[in-house]
Amino acid sequence: MGETPHRSADAGTGGTRVTQSHEWPAGASARVAEAPVSTRSPGGTGLGGGGALPRNRKFGAERAFRGLTMAAGTTVLVIIVAIAAFLIAKAIPALRANTASFWTFEGWFPNDNPPTFGIGALAFGTVLTAALALLMAVPVAMGIALFLSHYAPRRLGNALGFLIDLLAAVPSVVFGLWGRDYLIGPVSDLSVWLNKYFSWIPIFGGDGPYGNSILLGSLVLAIMILPIVTSLTREVFLQTPTANEEAAIALGATRWEMLRTAVLPYGRPGIIAAVMLGLGRALGETIALALTLGSTYAISFNVLESGGNTIAANIANRFAEANDTGRGALIASGLVLFAITLIVNIIARAIIYRRREFTESAA
């Protein structure tokens, strides 16, 4: 029993293949085992270590991308801190010169000697106007979004969605001029009707005069934030898994029951995010409210009578005539608005975080 090696060149493997034939006892079948001997080329593309370099490149790119994203997030935080530091530094001299309570005084006289001003009425008007705008805009926006995403034909839905997106590009000054010059008449008539039949409700009390009011400003603001909330909620509704909708229909649900049990729970975090984004736009709106609101400084729930004011509108109306103390007072009010917006966004993120199980369970 012996073995005789045979060598043959294999052009396909780029090396030498050694073939050994073995002699087996009688009655046994002969088996041939081939063992290729590979040689690695100078370029490093052989079988032994060809994957190491691409893997290193992959991890290097991942580390670079992680560093870029961390730098971007850190930059945002630095900008926020810088804005807060600037507002605080500019507001402190005016706050020290103020002889009234900054939080409770209902007046704005920073140019007087001694200066007196307060943020209470302005902060109240800001929150009340934004809340009324959301109350009017969110139900309409959700209804439009549901119609475009689940009821309207696709071509019609895309066309109307495009028009709604264009509405968001209209400048705020256009909305303000439109509300001041054309919408004030119908809103005044509506105010008379509301006061006549619903004066027992505190927000509809008062006998006038009617004109530039919280109601007019809130209505204009609701029209302004309507395309933002509509576009975002429509995109959220379109992301609902088709399997969830088909499962609800298969169980015998109607179209509305399918929307209520499958679409709305899945899109709840997105709806909250859209509403909070609209609220942020409403809190910071300036020109439109400066043209449609009054210029009074009083805490009142009456939305029909002429009057009302917000922090942003007051800054736009008073900045040109303000002295050094007046500008510091306006910056101090801007700091309060910055804090309100920051708190609203923190609350929104907390709500979305608590509601994340809807998305995870639906996925």
Mention every residue, 6+ apart, whose C-beta is less than 8 A from residue 340.
123, 126, 127, 283
What are the tens digits of pLDDT across the range 204-221?
877 777 888 899 999 999
Looking at the domain assignment, is residue 88 inside a domain? no
Supply 16's token pair: 């030498």
Looking at the domain assignment, is residue 121 inside a domain? yes
| CATH code where residue 162 lies | 1.10.3720.10
Looking at the domain assignment, is residue 37 inside a domain? no
Q: At what angle do helices 184-198 and 214-238 cross, to 10 degrees?
A: 100
* Least confident span in 24-28, 77-81, 84-88, 184-188: 24-28
What are the tens digits of pLDDT across the range 158-167?
888 888 888 8
Looking at the domain assignment, is residue 143 inside a domain? yes
Judged by DSSP in three states, 297 sits in coil
Mention every residue, 6+ apart, whose C-beta is less than 8 A from residue 5.
18, 19, 20, 21
Query: In angstroms, rounded to a whole number, what is the distance separating the alpha carbons of residues 282 and 221?
Result: 6
- The number of folded domains in the chain is 1
Residue 223 is which amino acid?
A: I
Residue 49 clears pLDDT 70, i.e. is over it: no
Only one residue has tokens 């009688």, namely 26
Looking at the domain assignment, is residue 166 inside a domain? yes
Looking at the domain assignment, is residue 236 inside a domain? yes
Supply 178's token pair: 């439109």
Only one residue has tokens 């041939």, namely 32
Query: In angstroms, rounded to a whole number, what is the distance separating the alpha carbons of residues 280 and 340?
Result: 9
Domain range enclosing 233: 112-362
Cβ atoms of 37 and 16 within 8 Å: the answer is yes
DSSP label at residue 181: I
Mean pLDDT, the chain, rounded, equals 81
Looking at the domain assignment, is residue 137 inside a domain? yes
Mention every residue, 6+ apart, whose C-beta is less than 8 A from residue 72.
none
Query: In angstroms, rounded to a whole number, what is the distance separating the alpha carbons of residues 229 and 261?
Result: 21
Query: In angstroms, rounded to a whole number, what is the distance separating the alpha carbons of residues 107 and 95?
Result: 14
Residue 26 clears pLDDT 50, i.e. is over it: no
Cβ atoms of 207 and 243 within 8 Å: the answer is no
Query: In angstroms, rounded to a whole number, what is the distance separating the alpha carbons of residues 3 and 91?
Result: 97
Query: In angstroms, rounded to a whole number, what is the distance separating the alpha carbons of residues 248 and 117?
Result: 58
What are the tens digits of pLDDT across the range 305-354?
888 889 999 999 898 888 989 999 999 999 999 999 888 888 877 877 77
Residue 45 clears pLDDT 50, i.e. is over it: no
Query: In angstroms, rounded to a whole number, what is the distance separating the alpha carbons of residues 171 and 182?
Result: 17
Query: DSSP assignment of 282-305, as one string?
Result: HHH--HHHHHHS----------SB
Looking at the domain assignment, is residue 246 inside a domain? yes
